[in-house]
Amino acid sequence: MGIANASRYPVKRSHIGIMHHLSRREVDALIDAPDQQTPRGRRDRALLLFLAGTGARVSEALGANACDIQLDRPRPKVLLRGKGPKERVVPIPDDS
């Protein structure tokens, strides 16, 4: 089969959307939204701070264990696990 015959097969078309980032004001509004007077609100705010500070995906953040977070170093960091065997170490900023 030559290249000319390859054109007979349909090409899979997919739509790739454009990803937009949030402005600093939008991120701050999200972080300030949970009610900090309740345990759930404090938990939600901590998770939002973690997501915003590290750039972690929600699945990566929820999959992190206490042993994956290293706070006792000059530069705190966290081990994040993605799909399959993918892992990455991400610094945790001081302001998180």
pLDDT(3) > 70: no
- pLDDT per residue as tens digits for the range 22-47: 999 999 999 999 999 999 999 999 99
**Other C-beta atoms within 10 Å of 80: how many?**
20
* CA–CA–CA angle 82, 26, 37 (5° rounding): 85
Task: Yes or no: say if 40 and 51 are a contact pair by the CB < 8 Å rule.
Answer: no
Cα–Cα nearest to 31, from 44, 18, 22, 15: 44
- Indicate the SS3 state at residue 71: coil
Task: Yes or no: say if 78 and 93 are a contact pair by the CB < 8 Å rule.
Answer: no
- Specify the pTM: 0.72
